[in-house]
């Protein structure tokens, strides 16, 4: 039981940073948590090794990873023990080691870029020294940019969700899934609309890269959720902080990368079937994938995928939220042709969603809003559960067509060309009286993107790439005015280089972008105006990574990015629904320019404690924000407070801390801390809408051996504590309601795999807000009107399918 007490101490550690009052609550909850887990740990068969007390678990496996032919040590090769799900990297001398292994048989998975992967097995009876060799893969050598398990590809901090972590978020929206990465939060509009926030920045300040194409819709709107089906992804990755050089304009806060798995390269037809069901909003869903390749030598491979989801009214701890259902229907197809040094790929996806918007958020004026804030709960809560979606709602369709061609020249490097075509149609149905069946507003935007990248063959210690990107888009609308017609042409060119020798890696890059925005707008007096804007800017990046040995790496990076003002910031003019404010664009805005500085320490591949600490400072010159102006706007529904887009220098600074502590091989604690502070430097005041401090701790148990017929089982219990946001603007009136109190949510994840005949069946449960806490989140725009979601259990069944006849 000793480790349990340590467990508790560590579990509580992050909370000591918070206010004393909240400590009390959390201590209590943490103890409660332990009371629940404690007895299980003490007596449950889950947690014993089953091999009796003689079991020796202090064995060490070590050795060198070598090139089979030259006997050169391989630096940074990944050695993964399948049974334990533990990985390590070979160090600068090719040495690797695993500590605290138990006796038994293990399968090692050995991977290194440019080499054929190996899977040697070994039986451990005592500590063992074993050298591992790998064969050079002439076919794979060209593919330098395999997303591998190597640590720290770049100095700038990234986070990612893959494998089991990603699986446990299946069924959630993209924004909610990404919350499991430190430094991430979401901005919400009720329970259905959720957008990712990186280091306090969101919407048009972060870039979404969907299958290698920058996602373009109406992403400027904080109530416009990303039109991406997370089921397509085999990896969700986040680049935190300004990353303009490689990804282009707008990546001021960072980049979210949604990466599907590569098309199959082994013969046969396979796939997977996912079934979902949840309590609370009674969500049901199904997602299926089929993929294949005719023969081993065939160059063609393909994939088809589809997802359907439906949910009804979500429930807070105490009542249903009226009209908060959602429907989603997505599908995609991919076809690939791949030869040794030439390949092509085509991908098409369609995303369709219908999102109900909380009835109570439809208000007429400021008095209505103040009445709503004054009420404990929405006026109409006597509603039962229903799947029906009424006005107001959004209906959005997003098409993406991507074609990619690559040509590997061998000596001169690799050339890749990507063309993307997107069309985003957003229909908004208002809750006006006696509306017909047509939407009050349809926004329609078509985007063409190209990217041509040349990646040169590594020369000496240098590797790098250069490229040209273009974007052309056309935006139109029908119905009420929100943003004008516009055409946007952007072109950019970049070059990045990386120098790596021994323990040091240096990287640098520079980029130039030009943007032309042509507006067509009908003025209030019916005149048509056609103003044109031109912006151009240089972005740069510098980074250094130093491996000091002893499993410790230091990283420093300075990156920049810029963003031109959006059509909404220049030309919006009207009452903003649900926020009872009149928003006015500013036609004289300049570009924002961000300079992000980050320092990080990574402590990795250690037997017990591993983690990463990252400290950042993101300066944004001419940050565009809504500032209150006088006088209020008088309308037929009374006076509305008026806001206009203004610019000021701002800084977003903060800390992300990831920690993992292994009590035993099976039991470990995962801890994530995200803290961000944002200041308007001109006013010397806080900025509005910045995420509150967030602490997340999860105790995970993963038995090494199979439990009867159950394999790959896991159980995790923990909680997220979100503090009250106390840093809000004090010099101007920017919000109608004080930030809500901090809250603690108890969460659970569990899963296992069983076999029915030859068919593996993966089962999983993700439970959130288990204590059914009523709370409101500062970054939920509907906190004026309703509590957040209550307890929800999400059940998942996944069937990996293999139609090949062996």
Partner 1 sequence: MSKIFRLPLTFILIAALVSFTSCDDHDDEPHDEEGELITTVTLTMTPQGGGTPITATYRDLDGDGGNAPVMTPAIVVLKAGVTYTTTIRVLDEANNEDLTAEIKQEGHEHEFFFVPSPATLMTVTKTDKDRNNRPVGLENTLQTSSTAQSGSLRVVLKHQPGGLKTNNSTISTGETDADVTYAIRLE
Which residues contact partner 1 by CB under 8 A? 302, 335, 346, 348, 359, 362-365, 367-368, 371, 379-380, 382, 399, 401, 403, 421, 423, 430, 432-435, 440, 444, 446, 448, 474, 476-481, 484-485, 487, 520-522, 524, 528, 573-575, 582, 584, 633-638, 640
Q: 443 or 545, CB closer to partner 1? A: 443
Task: Name the residue nearer to partner 1 (CB basis): 76 or 585.
Answer: 585
Q: C-beta of 375: minimal distance to partner 1 in Å?
A: 9
User: Omega before 491 cis (within 30°)?
Assistant: no
- Least distance CB 723 / partner 1 (angstroms): 33
Peptide bond into 392 cis (omega under 30): yes
Report, in Å, the least distance between residue 278 CB and partner 1.
Answer: 27
According to DSSP, the β-strands at 638-662 and 581-584 are parallel
Phi, psi of 418 (to 5 degrees): -125, 130
Main-chain dihedrals φ then ψ at residue 790, nearest 5 degrees = -85, -155
Distance CA 320, CA 311 (A): 13
Helix (H) or strand (E) holding 548: strand 532-549
Which residue number, 387 or 481, has a Cβ lying nearer to partner 1? Answer: 481
Minimum Å gap between C-beta 785 and partner 1 is: 12
Select 119 or 438, whichever has its Cβ closest to partner 1. Answer: 438
Return the number of the residue (5 or 435) whose C-beta is nearest partner 1: 435
Please say which residue, 360 or 699, places its beta carbon nearer to partner 1. 360
Q: Could you tell me the two tokens for 421? A: 């075509």
Instruction: Please give the Cα distance from 72 to 64 (Å, whole number).
Output: 10
Q: How far apart are CA 387 and CA 322, in angstroms?
A: 10
For partner 1, the closer of residues 217 and 689 by Cβ is: 217
Burial of residue 50 (CB within 10 Å: 0-12, 13-18, 19+) is exposed
201 versus 519: smaller Cβ distance to partner 1 = 519
Evaluate whether 306 touches 331 at the Cβ level (below 8 Å). Answer: yes
Residue 362 CB, nearest distance to partner 1 (Å)? 6
Please list, residue by residue across 234-272, b when 16 or more beta carbons sit within 10 angstroms of its beta carbon and e when fewer do. Answer: eebbbbbbbbbbbbbbbbbbbbbbbbbebbbeeebbbbb
CB of residue 219 to partner 1, shortest distance in Å: 18
Output 435 or 730, the one with its CB closest to partner 1: 435
C-alpha distances in Å from residue 370, one per residue of 177, 378, 579, 739: 33, 12, 11, 15
* Residue 60 or 633 having the CB closest to partner 1: 633
Give the integer Cα–Cα distance in Å for 145 and 147.
Answer: 6
* Residue 295 CB, nearest approach to partner 1 (Å): 15
Q: Cα(398)–Cα(528) distance, rounded to whole angstroms?
A: 29
Output the smallest distance, CB 438 to partner 1, in A: 10
CB of 421 to partner 1, least distance (A): 6
C-beta separation of 238 from 158 below 8 A: yes
Phi and psi at 657, nearest 5°, equal -130, 125
Q: What stretch of H or E contains 2?
A: helix 2-12
**Residue 227 near residue 173, CB atoms below 8 Å:** no
Instruction: Please give the Cα distance from 493 to 451 (Å, whole number).
Output: 10
Query: For the stretch 368-378, what's the b/e string if a residue is b when 16 or more beta carbons lie within 10 angstroms of its beta carbon?
Result: ebeebeeeebb
- C-beta atoms surrounding 763 within 10 Å: 15
Cβ nearer to partner 1, comparing 229 with 440: 440
Q: Which is nearer to partner 1, 80 or 481 (CB)?
A: 481
559 Cβ contact list (under 8 Å, min separation 6)? 156, 241, 242, 243, 244, 245, 539, 540, 541, 542, 543, 595, 596, 598
Q: Return the closest-CA partner of residue 173 out of 196, 139, 141.
A: 196
The pair of structure tokens assigned to 772 is 């059914």
Write down the least CB distance from residue 401 to partner 1, Å. Answer: 5
Closest CB 337 distance from partner 1, rounded Å: 9
Tokens representing 512 are 């130039």
Instruction: State phi, psi for 567 to the nearest 5 degrees.
Output: -60, -30
- Work out how close the CB of 263 gets to partner 1 at its nearest, in angstroms, rounded to a whole number: 13
Cβ proximity to partner 1, 562 vs 640, nearer residue: 640
Q: Smallest distance, Å, CB 302 to partner 1? A: 8
Shortest Cβ 562–partner 1 spacing (Å): 27
Residue 155 CA to chain centroid, in angstroms?
A: 19
Q: Under a CB-based contact definition with an 8 Å cutoff, are residues 249 and 562 in contact? A: yes
Of residues 138 and 478, the one with the C-beta less far from partner 1? 478
Cβ closest to partner 1, residue 260 vs residue 718 = 260
* Shortest distance, position 481 Cβ to partner 1, whole Å: 4
């Amino acid at each position: 039981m000793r480790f349990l007490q340590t467990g508790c101490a560590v579990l509580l550690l992050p909370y000591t940073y918070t206010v004393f009052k909240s400590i009390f609550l959390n201590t209590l909850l943490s103890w409660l948590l332990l009371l629940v887990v404690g007895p299980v740990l003490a007596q449950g068969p889950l947690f014993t090794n089953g091999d009796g007390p003689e079991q020796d678990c202090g064995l060490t496996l070590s050795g060198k990873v070598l090139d089979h032919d030259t006997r050169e040590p391989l630096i940074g090769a990944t050695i993964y023990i399948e049974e334990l799900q533990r990985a390590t990297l070979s160090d600068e001398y090719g040495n690797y080691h695993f500590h605290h292994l138990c006796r038994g048989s293990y399968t090692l998975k050995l991977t290194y870029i440019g080499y054929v992967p190996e899977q040697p097995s070994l039986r451990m009876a005592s500590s063992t020294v074993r050298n591992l060799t790998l064969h050079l893969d002439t076919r794979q050598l060209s593919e330098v940019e395999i997303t591998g398990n190597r640590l720290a590809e770049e100095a700038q901090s990234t986070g990612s969700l893959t494998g089991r972590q990603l699986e446990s978020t299946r069924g959630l929206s993209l924004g909610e899934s990404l919350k499991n990465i430190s430094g991430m939060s979401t901005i919400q509009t009720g329970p259905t609309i959720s957008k990712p926030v990186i280091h306090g920045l969101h919407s048009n300040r972060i870039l979404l890269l969907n299958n290698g194409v920058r996602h373009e819709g109406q992403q400027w709107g904080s109530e416009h959720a990303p039109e991406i089906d997370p089921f397509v992804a085999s990896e969700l990755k986040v680049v935190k902080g300004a990353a303009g050089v490689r990804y282009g304009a707008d990546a001021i806060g960072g980049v979210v990368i949604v990466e599907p798995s590569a098309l199959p390269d082994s013969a046969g037809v396979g796939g997977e079937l996912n079934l979902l069901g949840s309590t609370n909003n009674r969500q049901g869903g199904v997602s299926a994938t089929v993929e294949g390749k005719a023969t081993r030598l065939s160059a063609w491979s393909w994939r088809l995928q589809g997802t359907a989801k439906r949910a009804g009214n979500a429930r807070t701890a105490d009542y249903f939220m009226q009209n908060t259902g959602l429907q989603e229907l997505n599908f995609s197809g991919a076809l690939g042709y791949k030869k040794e040094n030439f390949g092509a790929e085509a991908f098409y996806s369609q995303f369709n969603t219908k999102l109900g918007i909380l009835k109570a958020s439809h208000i007429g004026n400021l008095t209505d809003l103040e009445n709503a804030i004054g009420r404990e709960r929405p006026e109409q809560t006597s509603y039962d559960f229903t799947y029906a979606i009424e006005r107001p709602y959004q209906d959005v369709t997003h098409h993406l067509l991507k074609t990619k061609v690559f040509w590997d020249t061998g000596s001169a490097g690799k050339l890749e060309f990507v063309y993307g075509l997107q069309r985003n149609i957003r229909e908004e149905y208002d809750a006006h009286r006696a509306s017909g069946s047509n939407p009050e507003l349809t926004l329609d935007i078509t985007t063409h993107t190209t990217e041509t990248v040349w990646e040169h063959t590594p020369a000496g210690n240098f590797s790098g790439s250069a490229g040209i990107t273009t974007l052309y888009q056309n935006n139109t609308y029908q119905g009420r005015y929100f943003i004008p017609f516009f055409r946007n042409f952007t072109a950019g060119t970049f070059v990045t280089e990386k120098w790596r020798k021994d323990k040091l890696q240096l990287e640098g890059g520079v980029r130039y972008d030009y943007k032309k925005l042509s507006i067509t707008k009908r003025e209030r007096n019916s005149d048509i105006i056609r103003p044109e804007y031109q912006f151009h800017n240089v972005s740069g990046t510098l980074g250094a990574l130093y491996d000091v040995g002893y499993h410790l790496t230091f990283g420093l990076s300075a990156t920049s990015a810029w963003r031109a003002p959006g059509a909404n910031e220049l030309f919006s003019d009207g009452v903003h629904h649900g926020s009872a404010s009149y928003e006015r664009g500013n036609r004289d805005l300049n570009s924002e320019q961000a300079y992000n500085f980050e320092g990080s320490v990574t402590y990795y591949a250690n037997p017990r404690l591993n983690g990463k600490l990252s400290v950042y400072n993101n300066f944004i010159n001419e940050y565009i924000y809504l500032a209150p102006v006088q006088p209020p706007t008088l309308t037929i529904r009374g006076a509305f407070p008026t806001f206009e887009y203004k610019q000021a220098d701002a800084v977003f600074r903060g800390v992300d801390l990831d920690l993992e502590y292994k009590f035993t091989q099976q039991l470990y604690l995962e801890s994530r801390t995200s803290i961000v502070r944002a200041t308007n430097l001109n006013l010397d005041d806080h900025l509005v809408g910045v995420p509150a401090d967030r602490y997340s701790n999860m105790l995970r148990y993963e038995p090494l051996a199979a439990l009867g017929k159950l394999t790959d089982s896991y159980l995790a219990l923990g909680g997220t504590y979100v503090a009250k946001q106390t840093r809000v603007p004090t010099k101007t009136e920017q919000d109608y309601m004080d930030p809500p109190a901090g809250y603690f949510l108890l969460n659970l994840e569990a899963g296992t795999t069983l076999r029915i005949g030859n068919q593996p069946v993966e089962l999983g449960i993700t439970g959130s807000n288990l204590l059914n806490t009523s709370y409101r989140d500062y970054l939920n725009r509907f906190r004026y009107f309703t509590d957040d979601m209550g307890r929800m259990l999400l059940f998942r069944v996944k069937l990996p399918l293999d139609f090949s006849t062996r």
